A and B are shown apart, each in its own frame.
Chain A
Amino acid sequence: MSNEKKPVIVDDMAIKLKREVPNWVITLSSVVLVLLLWEYFGRNVNPIFGSHPVAIGIAFWKMVKSGLLLKALAQSLQAFIVGYGLSVIVGIPLGLLIGRSRVLEASIGVFVTAAYAMPLVALVPLLVLWFGLGFTVKAAVVFLMAVFPIVINTWLGVRGVPKTLIEVGKSLVAPPHVVMMRIVLPATLPYIMAGTKLAVGRAVVAMVIAEFFTAISGLGSIIINAANSFDTAAMFVPVIVIMILATGLNSFVGWIERRVAPWHTEMSGRSES
């Protein structure tokens, strides 16, 4: 950590970079290898029970050309963005409040914990009854899946804020809302980011599940319709798109995390790995 040691560390890294194969080369080779193996073995399988990369590629191209894929992607993303966005807007303040107030924690906390554990899939048919088969029900399912991990993580984060940091604010006569915004919120940010990251995965799953049930629009409906007509290659197309989407969203949230809470990534000693 000390000042004079820094150049030594930089040298170490330069040496390391020269000697070692970069991570992305390893990752890429591994992906290519898996695709090749899949292609080799997949070709011998009945196209109803499985598929292989080339067939999926062809199906993908067909779907792009017909505009089906893009349209479905847009439909899914809309529901995702609205539902996920709402869960962030509602979840973070709610978590902050529950964490700071003994009364709210005792009265609302129990519902949040229970709702987090609730098997939401079982409730989707009911939600369909309430919201119909369109956009609203998808956004609602995404919201319900994403909001609780955000609330719980924020809440636990607030509980973990060292008392002494809050005392710094108190000793400087900061009013409660300033303590909340300038001390509790930044101290909790790493937990909040962990919650929003966790919520991305759950929200993607929620989106697909909702589309399974409604089967009218979005990537999930392509999956269910292709599966119903035994077009396995076509079924894999949205699955892979969703995988890529989720990975991308995850690294996007990770990128935001490094921007808003850089002290945390550096303190945790993971900045270089």
Chain B
Amino acid sequence: MGQVSLKDVSKSFALRIENKTQIVHALKSVSFDVAESEIVVLIGPSGCGKTTALRILMGLETASRGKVTIDGREIKGCGYDRGLVFQHAELLPWLSAVKNVMFGLEMKGMRGPELKETAMRYLDLVGLKDAADRRPYQLSGGMKQRVGIARALAIDPEVLLMDEPFGALDAQTRENLQAELLDIQKRTGKSIVFVTHDLDEAVLLADRIVVMRSGYVQEIIDVPLRKLGLDMATARATPTFGQIRLKVWEALHNQPTSSHAH
């Protein structure tokens, strides 16, 4: 359950700017796999196609070429087996925080008192129990982002797709939620595709890091750290952490070399 695979996936957008049509190649023959219960982190400079890859996985966008499968089935549209945390939260502005979380649950078919209880549990998880009745415009950017996380977590998908979910958070909250996410992952065995710009976050969370650059996969780096079962502070102090971090840094900063054959 929750095996994801992209094979030679390309995506092009046709942009119309002042009567001229321009083709943007957002993804160029991207391939990577996410095994069951694995956390794969996508990292790469702005505009390199990370969000596009997640949207294709969610079923909001279709690949121009290539094959995208979940547990061997080709993806056709959205499904409850996947849950997306949007890059900009995308809460419904007329609903309070708790009702935003309830909305997802309701769509999945949950009814009755269970609905609010479940929603409150997930809001509590992201530390927003006290802000449950506030509307999105009364929440800070980071709070909105956390409601978005709660909404996706609450529907309990097999594959979590998270687009820079901790981007707008302070270091303290970010670390708490990172630990919380790892904990949830351990308990539920979800597969997670996680987009971030933060090197440390990538190394701490990932089983594998996919380094992207302007639409293609630059390098895929295995991270053995999480399997050691250390808490995050200890993990940071290991030599492995430093080594992997350097490796990812180099992959991000190297000019494209002969190491990839395109």
Contacts and interface: CB of A to CB of B under 8 A. Distances in A.
A189 B93 CA distance: 12
B137 A267 contact: yes
Interface stretch (A16-24, A28-36, A50-58, A167-175): A167-175
B99 to A, nearest CB: 11
A189 B86 CA distance: 24
Interface string B122-160: 000000000000011110100000000000000100000
B245 interface: no
A33 B138 CA distance: 43
Interface residues of A, number: 22
B137 A168 contact: no
Contacts, number: 57
A178 B78 CA distance: 15
A167 B60 contact: yes
Given A173-B107, A182-B103, A168 B86 contact: yes
Interface residues of B, number: 25
Main secondary structure of the interface of B (DSSP, over half): loop
A263 interface: yes
Given A164-B86, A164-B88, A182-B103, A171 B60 contact: yes
Given A171-B58, A172-B155, A263 B137 contact: yes
Nearest to A167: B60
Interface string A250-273: 000000000001010011000000
Contacts of A164: 86, 88, 90
A129 to B, nearest CB: 46
Given A172-B108, A187-B92, 17 more contacts: A1-B140, A164-B90, A168-B92, A169-B107, A171-B59, A171-B60, A171-B83, A172-B155, A173-B77, A173-B108, A174-B107, A182-B103, A187-B93, A261-B94, A263-B93, A266-B137, A267-B137
